Amino acid sequence: MTEAVSFRGVSRYFGHVRAVDGVDLDIRDGEFFAMLGPSGSGKTTCLRLIAGFEQPTGGEIRIYGEQAAGVPPYRRNVNTVFQSYALFPHMNVRDNVAFGLRVKGTGKAERHKAAEEALAMVELAGFGDRRAGELSGGQRQRVALARALVNKPKVLLLDEPLGALDLKLREQMQEELRSLQRALGLTFVFVTHDQDEALSMADRVAVFADGKMQQVGTAEDIYRRPNTRFVADFVGSSNVLPADFVGAGPNGRWASLRPEDIRLDPLGHEAVVTSRAYHGRVVKLGLKLGAQHLNALMPATEDLPQPGEKVRVGWDRARVHMMESGA
Amino acid sequence: MTLPAILPARGGIAARAIDWMMRHPAMFTFLMVLPIVLWLGIVYIGSLIALLMQSFFSIDEFSGVVKQEFTLSTYAELLRPANFDIILRTILMAASVTLASAAIAFPIAYFAARYAKGKWKALFYIGVMLPLWSSYLVKVYAWKLVLAKEGILTWVFEKLHLTWLLDGLLALPVVGGNSLSVSYLGTFIVFVYIWLPYMIIPVQAALERVPGAMMEAASDLGANPGQSFRMVLFPLALPGVIAGSIFTFSLTLGDYIIPQIIGSGRLFIGQAVYVQQGTAGNIPLAAAFTVVPIVIMGVYLWGARKMGAFDAL
């Protein structure tokens, strides 16, 4: 079966800056795929390469098996939801949504009907006559989504679409996007710097840093079995420790230990509490074991030590993950 | 020593006045706006009304004295064929100059807004503004030489073996003439040259405000470059084009120097005003002529608004 999008050794340089550097990537048909990374990691450039706003400096991009190099965005059956939404300010909501059909020459009645249906799908039925400027952030986001979906794209690209929304709205939109994707069976490619968002929404996640893809896998793969120190640290702020420290292997290799896997243990190692921050459900403790600093997350119900106190902590050896790469 | 939570008031009248204004922002705004309102209200609008009133008087044909009685006869005079031709000629010239300026300015402004960066942008601004720093008269006289029968343009056409093209253009009825410098074509060329910067700058500013994502969105949704231009870029830049056209249109309507130096010798509104209030001493008719561009601009702006030219602002 053909992959929705496949990258083979794809690079994109801007002058001397390697925005994307030798990425191999396969996005499967009908999956919700997240590209996760800090700003400047190359994830957005990858998205723009799929959309056609950028052309690769090297390598090969295929969309459903077809060579995409040199094909302009308007000839790709791929649509984007922009971070800024990029709604046309001189058109009302209906004309915004119907734009893609209008340029393809669809008749007025037909495209207005399709626009109304797309608006109903994002729960904005009856908003057609409003101007983009009269809508709230969440509503604009939905219009941008409807405007892309009305074209029935093969792949829908979402560039940090929830970044500008407040927390509650964001959680609601995450759920809606997920169910929309399932209902339509479309391939969604989602760019975000928020690891919670990526892990909770996506079927598979690719983690980017410095223009390179660090790891790709299911949310659990990425979280439980990070490949590199970067992934361990970026996804869930894991403790990255020398392997011999956790007693898990020879020196020179690195191990990841999740903060939530550290617990109070009367038979464990002695540590000094250096900081304590209350987060509601959990308390974040800074610990010092000898020369090694550790972050620990513990349930807030426990009677936890104060900074400066000594405690004994331990962890389940099985929870320690050895990383393959030393980098 | 500990610092006080509230600093003591500073002495002096100026400091006290500033403190007072900080507590009364409305008064501050009022004082700021007052001189402008006075200037606009009395000096500018006031003299405009005085002029408007003049146009409702008429001149006594025998004594040449202005009769200060309300009449519409001066406006009726505007409709006389000789005068109406002047108005029509000026409007047509202003409209063609505006269209040509917009067509030439748009690609230049687009390039500057989307592609020019750093020193190229500086070069663009200098290139556009430089002609505005030199004397208008010098430029117009220079153009007279360029366009003259013995001028460099004739020579260029000759060297390119295109003399037939130039002759063909000059042989056109109405717009042609003996040479470019004594034809409407020449007047048109010089008008476009002189007012072009006033079109480029606002169009460039408008294009600068169109986010790059907007054009990407159009392309993403399947619009080819032509459709993107027609449906997104041009409508979004339209306020800039309208702003520029207000300059090129009204400046052409009111100019009385260019058509006097370069052209067929037939009068434009500006020249008519000049002649009527100078040599002829017919202030009411000069005033009536002056009202014409004001009315045209009013109608033009109203129409532009109706067509939604300012919706994207």
In DSSP notation, A137-155 reads: HHHHHHHHHHHHHTT--SE
B92 and B156 both lie in a single domain:
yes
pLDDT at residue B16, as a whole number: 87
Better-predicted residue by pLDDT, B24 or A302: B24
Identity of the residue numbered A279: H
CA distance A95 to A29: 30
B224: nearest CA partner in chain A: A74
Instruction: Say if B259 falls within a structural domain.
Output: yes
pLDDT digits (tens, 9 = 90+) for A248-278: 566 677 888 899 999 888 888 889 999 999 8
Rounded to the nearest 5°, which phi and psi values hold at B116? -70, 130
Q: Do A74 and B312 touch (CB under 8 A)?
A: no
Query: Which of A246-250, B10-14, B250-254 has the weakest average pLDDT?
Result: A246-250
Asked if A80 lies within 8 A of B220 by C-beta distance, the reply is yes
Asked if the structure places residue B243 within a domain, the reply is: yes
The mean of the pLDDT values for chain A is 90
- Residue B5 within a domain: no
| B124–chain A nearest CA distance, Å | 24
pLDDT tens column, B26-72? 988 998 899 999 888 888 888 888 888 888 988 887 777 888 888 88
Across chain B, the runs of DSSP E, i.e. the strands, are 58-59, 66-67
Q: Are residues B238 and B131 in the same domain?
A: yes
pLDDT band at A42 (very low <50, low <70, confident <90, very high): very high
B213 and B180 inside one domain: yes
Reply yes or no on whether the pLDDT at A307 is more than 60: yes
Contact state of B222 with A53 under an 8 Å Cβ cutoff: no
B73 Cβ contact partners less than 8 Å away, ≥ 6 residues apart = B58
Decide if A84 and B213 are in contact by the 8 Å CB cutoff.
Answer: yes
Number of domains present in the structure of chain B: 2
Least confident of A120-129, A212-221, B197-206, B298-307: B298-307
Report the alpha-carbon distance of residue A81 to residue A86 in Å, rounded.
8
Half-sphere exposure of A48 (CA within 13 A, CB side): 17
Residue B193 maps to a domain: yes
Categorize the per-residue pLDDT at A326 as very low, low, confident or very high, splitting at 50, 70 and 90.
Answer: low
Report, as an integer, the average pLDDT of B6-33. 87
Identify the pLDDT of residue B279: 77
Instruction: For chain B, give the mean pLDDT.
Output: 89
How far B237 CA sits from the closest chain A CA (Å)? 11
- The answer to whether B222 contacts A74, with C-beta atoms less than 8 Å apart, is yes
Asked if the Cβ–Cβ distance from A74 to B213 is below 8 Å, we say no
Distance (Å) from the C-alpha of residue B213 to the closest C-alpha of chain A? 6
- Whether the predicted pLDDT of B312 surpasses 60: no
How confident is the model over B107-123, as a mean pLDDT?
91
Could you tell me if B171 and B298 lie in one domain? yes
Q: Is B43 part of any domain?
A: yes
Q: With an 8 Å Cβ cutoff, are B220 and A90 in contact?
A: no
Q: Are B164 and B211 members of one domain?
A: yes
Q: Which residue has the tokens 């099985």?
A: A318
DSSP 8-class letter at A278: E
Considering only CB atoms, A86 lies closest to which of B217, B223, B312, namely: B217
* Most B CBs within 10 Å, among A48, A74, A159, to test the B interface: A74
B42 vs A93, which has greater pLDDT? A93
**For position A1, what pLDDT does the model report?**
62
Contacts of B88 (CB under 8 A, 6+ apart): none
| C-alpha distance from B204 to closest chain A C-alpha (Å) | 18
Nearest CB to B221: which of A83, A84, A103? A103
- Chain A residues with CB under 8 Å of B236 CB are 88-90
Contact B308 A82 (CB under 8 A): no
For residue B41, what pLDDT is reported? 86
Q: Is B224 in CB contact (< 8 Å) with chain A?
A: yes
| Within-domain flag for B121 | yes
**Residue B278 is part of a domain; what is its CATH number?**
1.10.3720.10
Alpha-carbon torsion (A19, A25, A30, A36), positive or negative: negative
What is the amino acid identity at position B2? Answer: T
Residue B144 and residue B27 share a domain: no
> Are A102 and B231 an interchain contact pair (Cβ–Cβ within 8 Å)?
yes
* B42 plus B184 within the same structural domain: no
Report whether pLDDT(A302) > 70: no
Higher pLDDT, B206 or A254: B206
Q: Which structure tokens are listed for A296? A: 């620990």
* Domain around B172: 77-312
Residue A264: its H or E element: strand A263-278
- State the smallest CA–CA distance between residue B103 and chain A in angstroms: 22
Residue B73: how many other CB atoms lie within 10 Å: 13
Backbone φ, ψ for residue B223 (5° rounding): -80, 125
The beta-carbon neighbor of A103 closest among B211, B223, B311 is: B223
Specify the residue for token string 């056109």. Answer: B172
The pLDDT value recorded for residue A46 is 95
Which of A178-192, A249-263, B15-29, B262-276 is predicted least confidently? A249-263
Which of A52, A74, A102 lies at the smallest CB-CB distance from B224? A74
Distance, CA of B156 to CA of B159 (rounded, Å): 5
Q: Are residues B98 and B136 in the same domain?
A: yes
Taking only the tens place, the pLDDT of each residue in A189-243 is 999 998 888 998 999 999 999 999 999 999 998 998 888 889 988 887 888 888 7
Please give, one letter per residue, the 3-state secondary structure of B2-53. CCCCCCCCCCCHHHHHHHHHHHCHHHHHHHHHHHHHHHHHHHHHHHHHHHHH
A325 to A9, A106, B40: CA distances (angstroms): 20, 53, 74
One domain for residues B48 and B170: no
Residue B60 lies in a domain: no
- Residues from chain B contacting residue A54 (CB–CB below 8 Å): none
Which residue(s) pair with A255 in the sheet? A241, A322
DSSP string covering A307-326: TT-EEEEE--GGG-EE-S--
pLDDT digits (tens, 9 = 90+) for A108-139: 999 999 999 999 999 999 899 999 889 988 89
State whether B111 and B163 are in the same domain. Answer: yes
What size, in residues, is chain B?
313
pLDDT of residue A214: 92
- Inter-chain Cβ pairs, chain A and chain B, closer than 8 A: 67
Q: Is B82 in the same domain as B205?
A: yes
B272 membership: H or E segment, kind and range: helix B269-277
Do the beta carbons of residue B272 and residue B83 sit within 8 Å? yes
| Structural domain contains residue B150 | yes
Is B165 found in the same domain as B37?
Answer: no
Chain B nearest-CA distance from A214, in A, is: 28
Are B312 and A89 an interchain contact pair (Cβ–Cβ within 8 Å)? yes
